[in-house]
C-alpha cells in the first residue's frame, strides 16, 4: 500500500498525482524500471476490492494477463479472461481457491478489504510505502482495525525520491 505520511492512501476525489514524489533524498536507493519489473514478475495473482478494480479500469489496467480476483457483491461482468469476480467468505477464498493455485498473491487493496485480510490473519506481509507528503484528507489505510496485531520488521528501504518502504511480517502466533 502506498500512503502519505498522515496515513491516507487516496484523496477523496481519487486523484493520484501525489504518488509522484518530487523530493530528493541523496542517500536513497534508485528505484529502476528493471527493479519494478522483476518485483512484479514474481506476483502470480492479484486480489482487490471492487472500488480499487473500478479505479484501475479508469486509470489504465496495470495487471496485464496475471490472474485477478475482484471482490464484489454485485453482478459485474468483464471480457478480460484473467479477471474473476468473487463474493463471500475470505478465509474460504484464500484456503480453498488461492493457496492451492498461487504462491505469491498481492492484495492490492483498498483499505476496506486489506483490513479484513489482516483481521482474519489471511495476510502474511504488509509492505507500506510512505510518500513524503501529507494529504490532510482522504481515505485512511488504518482508521480503525479493531484488534491488536504484532508485527516483525523484515526490511526498510529509503529511495532517492524520498519514499520509504516498510516491510512487515504479520505475526500469526
Ligand X SMILES: NC(=O)c1ccc[n+]([C@@H]2O[C@H](COP(=O)([O-])OP(=O)(O)OC[C@H]3O[C@@H](n4cnc5c(N)ncnc54)[C@H](OP(=O)(O)O)[C@@H]3O)[C@@H](O)[C@H]2O)c1
Q: Which residues contact 133 (CB under 8 A, 6 or more apart)?
A: 4, 5, 18, 21
Q: What's the rounded Cα separation, in Å, for the pair 113 and 106?
A: 12
The closest alpha carbon to 107, from 52, 162, 41, 37, belongs to 52
- Shortest separation between residue 146's beta carbon and ligand X, angstroms: 15
Separation between Cα atoms, residue 128 and residue 4, nearest integer Å: 10
Chain positions 95 to 134 lying near ligand X, rule: CB under 6 A, are: 108-113
Kindly determine how many residues on this chain lie close enough to bind ligand X according to the rule CB under 6 A.
25
Q: Judge whether 52 and 109 are in contact, CB under 8 Å.
A: yes
Give me the least distance between CB of 131 and ligand X, in Å please: 9
Minimal distance, residue 93 CB to ligand X, in Å? 8
- Stretch near ligand X under the rule CB under 6 A, chosen from 37-45, 87-95, 144-152, 163-171: 87-95
In the complex, the residues that contact ligand X under the rule CB under 6 A are: 1-2, 9-10, 14, 48-52, 55, 71-74, 87-88, 90, 108-113, 139
Amino acid at each position: 500500500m502506498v500512503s502519505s505520511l498522515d496515513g491516507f492512501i487516496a484523496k477523496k476525489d481519487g486523484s493520484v498525482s501525489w504518488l509522484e514524489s518530487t523530493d530528493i533524498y541523496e542517500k536513497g536507493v534508485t528505484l529502476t524500471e528493471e527493479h519494478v519489473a522483476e518485483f512484479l514478475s514474481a506476483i502470480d495473482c492479484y486480489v482487490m476490492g471492487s472500488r480499487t478494480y473500478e479505479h484501475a479500469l479508469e486509470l489504465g489496467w496495470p495487471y496485464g494477463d496475471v490472474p485477478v480476483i475482484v471482490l464484489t457483491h454485485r453482478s459485474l461482468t468483464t471480457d478480460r479472461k484473467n479477471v474473476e469476480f468473487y463474493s463471500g467468505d475470505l478465509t474460504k477464498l484464500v484456503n480453498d481457491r488461492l493457496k492451492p493455485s498461487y504462491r505469491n498473491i498481492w492484495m492490492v487493496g483498498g483499505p476496506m478489504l486489506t483490513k479484513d485480510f489482516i483481521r482474519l490473519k489471511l495476510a502474511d506481509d504488509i509492505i507500506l510505502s510512505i510518500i513524503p507528503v501529507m494529504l490532510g484528507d482522504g481515505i485512511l489505510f488504518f482508521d480503525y482495525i479493531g484488534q491488536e496485531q504484532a508485527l516483525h520488521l523484515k526490511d526498510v528501504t529509503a529511495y532517492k525520491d524520498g519514499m520509504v518502504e516498510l516491510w512487515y511480517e504479520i505475526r500469526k502466533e
